[in-house]
Amino acid sequence: MAFDSFSAFLAMGGHGPYVWACYAMFFLLMGVVIWWSLRQRRVVIAQQQRRAAPMPSADERPTASFTRIESSQD
């Protein structure tokens, strides 16, 4: 253990703000990348499921409809 107390650990001998700013940024950005990657995957799977879903039969289909144009941003 390199520190005598918890407050000494937080203070980091006066370098606390520098050390903790770095660790905060590191975990924040890694978290964002991981969250974003997981979300992208869910979006793509949902997209493919919609594409693979069978077309509704003629009488279920609304008479007028919008056409969904899917374009990938990747």
Partner 1 sequence: MWQIFHKLGSPKWFFGIASTLMPWLLVAGAALLMTGIVWGLVFAPQDYLQGNSYRIIFIHVPSAFLAQSVYIMMAVAALVTLVWRMKLADVFVTAVAPVGAVLTFLALFTGAVWGKPTWGTWWIWDARLTSMLILLFLYFGVMALGAAISDEKSSARAVAVLVLVGVVNIPIIKYSVEWWNTLHQPATFKLTEKPSMPAEMWVPLLLSVLGLYLIFGWLACLRMQTHILAREGRTRWVKELVQARGN
Examine residue 10 and tell whether it contacts partner 1 (CB under 8 A). no
3-state SS assignment for residue 3: coil
Q: Which positions ≥6 away from 9 have C-beta within 8 Å? A: 3
Which tokens sit at 3? 């520190």
Choose which of 4, 7, 14, 64 interacts with partner 1 (CB under 8 A). Answer: 14
Nearer to partner 1, 63 or 71 (CB): 71
User: Interface with partner 1 by CB under 8 A: which residues?
Assistant: 1-3, 9, 12-15, 18-19, 21-23, 25-26, 29-30, 32-34, 37-38, 40-41, 44-45, 47-49, 51-53, 72-74
